Structure 1
Amino acid sequence: MSVATFPRLLIAGLSGGTGKTIVSLGLARAWTRAGKSVRSFKKGPDYIDATWLGLASRRFCTNLDPYFLSGETLRSLVHERMQGCDVGLIEGNRGLFDGKDEQGSCSSSELARQLETPVVLAIDCTKMTRTVAAIVQGCAHFEPGLRLAGVICNRTAGERHRAILRRSIEEHTDVPVLGMLPKFRENPIPERHMGLMSDQEYDPASYGGHDQALDAIADVVGEWLDLDALWRVAESAPEFGEPAPLWPEPAAEKCVRIGYVHDEALWFYYQENLEALERAGAELVRLSLLDDQPWPEIHGLYLGGGFPETLALRLANQSRTRIHVKNFSEAGMPIYAECGGFMYLCDTLEYDGSVYPMAGVFPVATSFCPRPQGLGYTEAEAVADTPFYARGTRVRGHEFHYSRCVAAKSGNLRFALKMERGNGMLDGCDGLVSNSTFAGYNHIHALAVPDWAPRFVAAALKFKAGQ
């Protein structure tokens, strides 16, 4: 395989919950078991599905999002990640044509066109027969430049149902049927309030290990889908070309140590965010908030998102760690926290009727709610200088949180971001600031905010020099 050519396909659906994740996981694991080097990609701002895709393919998954990244950067990112791999498997999100507006901006179909990637559509065929042909025909011709290369019928009821579906699609469309999946008696990967259960909370004693669940999905996919035909679809993708380098500047020498918490509570990180910090000169140190192991010397701290609410008691019980983090903040160490990381830095976290003490860096609380309090893409302006953003910086990101911020005296709080799209924390603001600590509900992608990592490292170097 040359550096400019590789097989690839995108698995899409008509909406969320139509089966594209099961198809993508099963296909990634089936091809991996067959000896193929699979690079999985997840379209859109998603950490959980991306992690499962990485487990299925046994190599980390990369997120692709036209909202954050230009077409040129997307191609550079795919080209970089595909080196040494046999196939690229992209899982779409939401419906194929669903984007952030009525034009379908940033949709899975837009991503497929930008990457010249054939699309395979997974359709939930529950209580549907001939109508599926009309849906397939409409999708095939809805947008110029999109190549709908095949369809997979999901949740089929029996042989008679499958026969009618196949004949209807073959008679009324030119789109090949690449397989039909029966209804799963039991989902090997249960769901929870933010989608699939995370791999961190997956209970092997109840459901079997990660590999057992993924192998079970791959067994079904291998039995019911035409894997050879799907591979031919991937091979039919045109030559990709060789885009500009993803990282045009050489990596800087390591000059500081930045800790990042990666445990069962906090683990939402884009690979590119960590890579950007390393290239800016940081030696990264993986840490946990859930044990009392002593931390090595660090000069900055990155707290990603995750599920602190489900592990609130364990977080609260580690009082020495909570005090340690608060002391870091009061000493002026640069700390950057996103969503779950922000929840940890608050005074308290309320979940399921109980209130748990947190690190107490900010005089606010978070309360878990039954419905999302922030969901979707964000755009904000930095209205104050911080170690991470200069005043006037445009910050694109996304938010997905069920908790809300509760403040007794919001007038005493310092916010660094004014939200122009999205909810943020309070009164259209996000990015609480205390000393050199920045925390918000907003998640960022480092390639969309290129100054973030160099500024973080520079602040850590300043802190190191002043110790």
Structure 2
Amino acid sequence: MSTTPRLILAGLSGGAGKTIISLGLCRSLVDKGLRVKPFKKGPDYIDAAWLGLAARREASNLDPFMMPTTALLDLYSRGAAGVDMALVEGNRGLFDGKDVNGSYSTAELAKLLQAPVVLIVNCTKMTRTVVAMILGCRAFEPNLHLAGVILNRTAGKRHKTILRQCIEQYTDVPVVGILPKIDPDPIPERHMGLVSNQECSEAETTLDLLANIARDCIDLDAIRNLATNVPPLDLPQPLTITTKSFTNPSLAPEDANSGFRPTHQEFTQTVRIGVIRDAALWFYYRENLEELRTQGAELVELSLLSANPWPEIHGLYLGGGFPETQAAQLSQNTSVRDDVARLAHKGLPIYAECGGFMYLGESLVCRDSVYPMAGVFPLQTMLCAKPQGLGYTVARVIHPNPFHPVGLEFTGHEFHYSKCVTPLRGDMQFALEMKRGCGMDQNRDGLTYKNTFACYTHLHALGVPTWARSFVAAARSYQRENLKMNLEA
């Protein structure tokens, strides 16, 4: 049973101010000495990164669509253990989900966690109508605990007074905060939401500003009381994360019938997977990296922007990000572009998602300029003004590859403004058939070349447990073959 105080911040729609208020609350509570574990509901990298920075504790994503309920509860259990409060930022509108039933909505997550909900309302040009919204949300779904409301973007003293009087007269939902319009927006937005914390040079100053606003405008004691007044939550015991040792050949059953007798020397060597983490590519779910470590890999952070030589690696993970913002520097770093192409041709296991896929093409068209990329795949991608793929995905594996078994069906998400502008030839091998989502072309995704796999689909390792095992196994096989060739040389 978990009695950790917990709270979900939700809105009536996207853009209600959830993230700004969540960041201010996290930082203000941490400044009071509380240990706050932030969570972001749904698929998101940027908000989660900001939340982690605000709470000074890395955030995790809770997504009922991309991970089984047992995995989600275990993830929550591990994150909420030993903290003073778990704070979950919702996504979209409170009841907005995948279908007309609101499947996988923030409300559904709130009921699963038995967590009180504080509703954030954009009160621009409204007074009494806000009451109808609150009453509607409270009555719409049973077993949802609407515990409080924060009024956002209020105009002046008179507006605030009327709003509070209306809510107190017609409802029993407490007002726990009233915020003014914040102009200019402390964190600017662009096509994929907030500007990333990596691109905001004054991130700490911004968070301190939001914390001051939260202290001035939100009743922090009331927030803590709401979070504390929760029933015990029956959760699985947190799993102990262990890293398997391969110093003993008998612990590697996959090699029993391989035809190559592994040596003791082989298994004392570390299986090393490079992870690109720089201003161009940095979209990674922390659990994806944890699962790779759990399967026995050492992760080494690398950059596509630096000319520093790379250490020996046995696999490479290129996540998503904003390669378009660093296109000139990526293009100019020819030594790394050539190295990535050489490693792909050599058969290094490479897994690339979205921005990572864009880097593996021949070129990227951005703002009327063409930037050469790594050239692993004979195609060009172009940044567009509108989304080319947005939302949850369901993919079925139809072609052999090192990372996913044929026949597997798994969930993920995509959010990209780029598209392939080179006609995709018939001899190109696509490993994924998109049952939901766009992918690269005509419901195809997962372009493959030797041991390289590139796709627009982002996955979460807790929803695709075979992925990390397969990735590390492929890296180990690559390491073994290299060692075998070196021994025979």
User: With structure 2 as the length reference, what TM-score do the two structures score?
Assistant: 0.92
For residue 263 of structure 2, what is the aligned residue in structure 1?
none
The answer as to 2:53 corresponding to 1:55 is yes
Give CA deviations for 1:77-99 in whole Å, capped at 9, x if unaligned. Answer: 11101222110000000000000
Match of 1:311 in 2: 326
1:250 offset after TM fit, Å?
Answer: 4.3
Q: What does residue range 417-428 of structure 1 map to in structure 2 within 5 Å?
A: 417-428=432-443
Preserved contact between residue 349 and residue 451 of structure 2 (Cα < 8 Å): yes
Residue of structure 1 in register with 2:245 after alignment: 253
Are 2:449 and 1:451 aligned?
no
**Could you tell me which amino acid in structure 1 is paired with residue 219 of structure 2?**
D
Gaps of 5+ in 2: 247-269, 483-489
Match of 2:403 among 385, 388, 394: 388
Distance 1:253 1:86 in 2: 35
1:298 is matched with 313
C-alpha contact (below 8 Å) 2:135/2:171 kept by paired residues? yes
Residues 209-266 of structure 1, C-alpha deviation per residue, up to 9 Å, x if partnerless? Answer: 211100001101110111100010110121123314446x843126400000000000
Counterpart in the other structure of 1:93:
91
- Checking the alignment, whether the CA contact within 8 Å between 1:305 and 1:338 is kept in structure 2 is yes
Say whether the 8 Å CA contact 2:399–2:429 is kept in structure 1: no
d(CA) in 2 for partners of 1:381 and 1:293? 38
The equivalent residue for 1:225 is 218
1:73 aligned counterpart, secondary structure: helix
Partner of 1:464: 479
> CA RMSD of the aligned region, Å?
1.1
Pairing of 1:208-287 with structure 2 (within 5 A) = 209-246=202-239, 250-253=242-245, 255-287=270-302
Tell me which residue corresponds to 1:84.
Answer: 82
| Paired position in structure 1 for 2:68 | 70
Q: Choose the corresponding residue for 2:352, options 337, 362, 381.
A: 337
Q: Distance in 2 between matches of 1:317 and 1:431?
A: 27
Shift of residue 464, structure 1, vs aligned partner: 0.4
One-letter amino acid of the structure 2 residue matched with residue 77 of structure 1: L
Residue aligning to 1:147: 145
Measured in 1, the distance between the counterparts of 2:321 and 2:26 equals 25
Larger Rg: 2
Contact (CA 8 Å) 1:133, 1:173: kept in 2 or not? yes
Q: Within 2, Cα distance between the matches of 1:417 and 1:374?
A: 15
Percent pairwise identity: 56
- Paired with 1:294 and 1:381, the residues of 2 have a C-alpha distance of 37
The structural deviation recorded for 1:412 is: 2.3
- 1:42 matched to 2:40? The reply is yes
Q: Distance in 1 between matches of 2:197 and 2:185?
A: 14
| Alpha-carbon distance between aligned partners in 1 of 2:366 and 2:390, rounded to the nearest angstrom | 19
Q: How many matched pairs?
A: 459
> 1:14-29 residue pairs with structure 2 within 5 A?
14-29=12-27
Residue identity opposite 2:233 in structure 1? F
Q: Tell me the amino acid that sits aligned with residue 130 of structure 2.
A: V
* Cα drift, residue 201 of structure 1: 1.5
TM-superposed CA distance for 1:418, in Å, is 0.2
Q: How much has 1:407 moved relative to structure 2? A: 2.5
Cross-structure match for 1:33: 31
Q: What residue in structure 1 maps to residue 9 of structure 2? A: 11
| Paired residue type of 1:374 | G
State whether residues 73 and 246 of structure 1, in contact with CA within 8 Å, keep that contact through their aligned partners in structure 2.
Answer: no
- 1:180 maps to 178
Equivalent residue letter for 1:6: T
State the shift of 1:70 in Å. 2.4
Q: What's the CA shift string for 1:354-381, capped at 9, x where partnerless?
A: 0000000001110000000000000010
Counterpart of 1:121 in structure 2 is: 119
Q: In 1, Cα distance between the equivalents of 2:148 and 2:394?
A: 36
How many angstroms does 1:21 deviate by? 0.8
Task: Please give the secondary structure, in 2, of the residue aligned with 1:446.
Answer: coil
Distance in 2 between residues matched to 1:451 and 1:166, nearest whole Å:
52
* Gaps in structure 1 of 5+ consecutive residues: none
Give the superposition deviation at 1:76: 1.0
Change (3 A) 1:361 1:201: same
Q: CA deviation at 1:408?
A: 3.1
- TM-superposed CA distance for 1:406, in Å, is 2.1
